[in-house]
Amino acid sequence: MTPPPVDTVTFGSPPRPRRRWSGVGALIVVGALIAVLAQAQGGDGAGTGTASPSPAGGTPPPPGSGAPCAASIADRAAGPAALTLGEAVPAGGAGQSCDGTAVAEGPWTVVVRATGGSLGQRGAVVTYPAEAPIAGRVVDVGSVKGVFARGTVVWPVASGYARVRGDLVEPTLIAIAAGTTVDTGRPVVVPPPGHSVIYSASYRPTIVRQIRYGTADLGEQAALGSGLTYTGIIDGGGFEDWLYAVPTRDGGLVRGRRALVSAVLGGNATLAWEAAPGLVAFIGYSGAALDDNAVAALRRLAARSRLLTEAEWTATAPRTVNGRNDIGTV
């Protein structure tokens, strides 16, 4: 099917521009997973996010059903399995949410960064398929017309639309769009000079793995409140795409990697950095309002964190939730 022309564009509500963090972001599966962990520990999981929707076509398998997780683990790239604070993992505090359809259903992403770029900084994310544009200025993307608005280019390609969103200048975003083709339903990008493709992955993460702690048990209740603190590992390009769409603030360096603070995963805020190409480590909390003291506390926790291997993660006997790991909307 040939997509409709985009020369005439009606105005709606495009993604917000990047600015300092000031509100609450969206998700997702984090709230649903924390609720399961809270139930396992006898808590209520309040104040930690929004429950994840059921997969299309039916009710998700019950917690503990591991079939989609086994497929997801086989598909994902080798790398860190989880993130813990110190040596001990609280009893019942480990859980994973597995999306067995993320790879087959898409959308798909390609992460492009300028030399010296890092997670959510000096880069862009290409997503295909994407929604048709609803606002913006018409621009030339190779031989077709696209739409540019607030760090985002949307243009027709293959049988639908693709989107590139980032903090790069407009000509570079358009050049990335012009260098994008679609092969068997997935975007392929030839980046402009000075930029590299970092990884390609499904938009929805195949696996989200978390460990849940009481903030008071970590000694950070003065800065973070008396609620929950959680660590995690998330894969997939959707997380980085949303870092370019919501307000963020600088999180400094974590093990030499640039970190960002945002509300992409719900709660009050999350400090996130790249643990490996395509894998993001994060520490989040639900409790006190975000301020400089809270950011400093998250950085202290990051300094004492440790990445787990697959064998170490399995030894925690994690609870399992199967369903769609939706991150906002595409």
Quick one: 183 and 214 in the same domain?
no
Quick one: 137 and 214 in the same domain?
no
Give the residue from 202, 225, 248 where a domain finishes.
Answer: 202
Give the residue from 202, 218, 235 where a domain finishes.
Answer: 202
Nearest to 160 by CA among 323, 324, 1: 1
The answer, as to whether pTM is greater than 0.85, is no
Task: Flag whether 5 is in a domain.
Answer: no
Which residue is associated with the tokens 């358009």?
174
| pLDDT tens-digit readout, 27-84 | 445 555 555 555 545 444 333 332 222 222 233 334 444 566 666 665 554 678 999 9
Burial of residue 142 (CB within 10 Å: 0-12, 13-18, 19+) is middle
Q: How far is CA 33 from CA 15, 97, 279, in A?
A: 27, 6, 19
Task: Flag whether 18 is in a domain.
Answer: no
Task: Flag whether 214 is in a domain.
Answer: yes
Quick one: 68 and 194 in the same domain?
no
Quick one: 312 and 208 in the same domain?
yes
Quick one: 134 and 228 in the same domain?
no
Quick one: 114 and 256 in the same domain?
no
| pLDDT tens-digit readout, 203-257 | 999 889 999 999 999 999 999 999 999 999 998 799 999 999 999 999 999 999 9
Quick one: 38 and 159 in the same domain?
no
Task: Flag whether 78 is in a domain.
Answer: yes
What residues have CB less than 8 Å from 260, skipping those under 6 apart? 119, 120, 121, 243, 248, 249, 250, 251, 271, 272, 273
State which residues form the domain around 173. Answer: 107-202
Quick one: 81 and 125 in the same domain?
no
Task: Flag whether 250 is in a domain.
Answer: yes
Quick one: 232 and 301 in the same domain?
yes
